[in-house]
Amino acid sequence: MALFSSSTQVIPNEAKIPRHVAVIMDGNGRWARNRFLPRVAGHKRGVDTVREMIKHCAVLGVEYLTLFAFSSENWRRPQEEVSFLMGLFMESLKKEVIKLHKNNIRLIMIGDRSRFDSLLCKEIDDAELLTKDNTGLTLTIAANYGGRWDIIQAINNLQKSHPELCGNFSESHITPFLSMSYAPEPDLFIRTGGETRISNFLLWQLAYTELYFTETLWPDFDDKAFNLAIESYQKRERRFGRTSEQLKS
Ligand code: IPE
Ligand code: IPE
Ligand code: MG
């Protein structure tokens, strides 16, 4: 598709591109404050970074991109900011979904939708339905998502489906009920904005993910900055409990 063919980016070592990248997009408010703008101007600008990041991931051959857009704790923010974020979410969905679809991107939302208004829920359902058979990048947006919520809903649903297993649950019983059961666990986690915490993101799924933290604020996180994260990932040795010697032999 034309949208993606114009990229002139140098692709870092194609052989070891992470299959799944999960991102906490942080620093919008500070980006705006640094420019004497209202915080919401940073959120608006952050949407442009999302668009560029999706394109770049598709070019690189990342299969799953998961973006933390709104945490279950973000309701604690001032009412005007929450409303603005909900509006921006709705507007971006409306504006971008056709483009995503044309580029063979599958869109999935994870998180607790019970606090969203019915119009937003409908927009999300329609977007998921339209793109569900696409075979390119899977873009997951985590909205009103919390890692603890995810684990609890998985266990509750497992118990409802298999009451006979109660008291004997194992990992392989729980994982099919987690929100991201359709995806492999993230290979690379990126948090922009300088904080070095997980903030209740994918707690279960990040158990063996390579973590990358950068001071760069989300609106400034461009293709070059993303490539640095990929390069850092490519230098890591993923041992999963084994020794380095075992991996080499
Ligand atoms: C991240 O940017 C976006 C959301 C949480 C929705 P912030 O709004 O947290 O930006 P900072 O951390 O205040 O700079
Ligand atoms: C985390 O960002 C959630 C999202 C990016 C959506 P916050 O900026 O809200 O995180 P904390 O609360 O400072 O850890
Ligand atoms: Mg923040």
- Over residues 159-211, the pLDDT tens digits come to 999 999 999 999 999 999 999 999 999 999 999 999 999 999 999 999 999 99
Q: Which residue intervals of 73-142 are DSSP H helices? A: 79-102, 118-131
Q: Are 132 and 106 in contact (CB under 8 A)?
A: yes
Give residue-wise pLDDT tens across range 37-49.
999 999 999 999 9
| pTM given for the model | 0.95
Q: How far is the CA of 29 from the centre of ligand 1 (A)?
A: 5
Strands 106-110, 188-191: pairing is: unpaired
Is the pLDDT confidence value at 11 over 80? no
pLDDT for res 13 = 73
Q: What are phi and psi of 21, to 5 degrees?
A: -115, 130
Q: Is residue 48 flagged as an active site residue?
A: no
pLDDT at 10: 58
Catalytic residue among 13, 26, 133, 156: 26
Q: DSSP letter at 209? A: P
Q: Is the CB of 77 under 6 A from ligand 1?
A: no
Give the position of tokens 């979904």. 97
Nearest to 62 by CA among 243, 235, 183, 232: 183
Which domains are seen in the chain, by residue range? 18-147+185-234 (3.40.1180.10)
Q: Is the CB of 67 under 6 A from ligand 1?
A: no
Out of 6-10, 15-19, 47-51, 126-130, pick the least confident.
6-10
* Cα 23 from Cα 141, distance rounded (Å): 10
Ligand 2 center from residue 161 Cα (angstroms): 33
222 noted as active-site residue:
no
